[in-house]
Amino acid sequence: GQSLEQPSEVTAVEGAIVQINCTYQTSGFYGLSWYQQHDGGAPTFLSYNALDGLEETGRFSSFLSRSDSYGYLLLQELQMKDSASYFCAVRVSGGYQKVTFGTGTKLQVIP
């Protein structure tokens, strides 16, 4: 089976930088995705890494190290609206593409 580990909660100051880590154990790994979910809302896609390295999308960046089975989401210039839960999700093989989500990291941005 697959398993993912993320910190349950992170608190950071507005304007700062925060990193949310995700470690995974899986077979047939294809890639790692990140989703954001505000309270009461639906998850929305942020980024996807299939290869080692950093992917940047505006204030958000995502990193993957396949050899370490590890990735992270980096949020820069934090804004109050970034307060949300962040989920990593692994894409694995097995006949057809499958997805397993982590339990999520609740980010609280404080003034």
Q: What span, in angstroms and rounded, lies between the C-alpha atoms of 96 and 7?
A: 29
Handedness of CA 77, 59, 40, 102 (dihedral sign): negative
Q: What span, in angstroms and rounded, lies between the C-alpha atoms of 89 and 35?
A: 8
- Measured from the Cβ of residue 90, the count of other Cβ atoms closer than 10 Å reads 24
Closer by beta carbon to another protein, 14 or else 38 = 38
The verdict on 106 binding another protein (CB under 8 A) reads: no
- Shortest distance, position 98 Cβ to another protein, whole Å: 5
The verdict on 91 binding another protein (CB under 8 A) reads: yes
Closer by beta carbon to another protein, 75 or else 89 = 89
Contacts of 16 (CB under 8 A, 6+ apart): 78
- Shortest distance, position 110 Cβ to another protein, whole Å: 22
The verdict on 87 binding another protein (CB under 8 A) reads: yes
Q: Which residues bind another protein (CB under 8 A)?
A: 30-31, 33, 41-45, 48, 87, 89, 91-92, 95-104
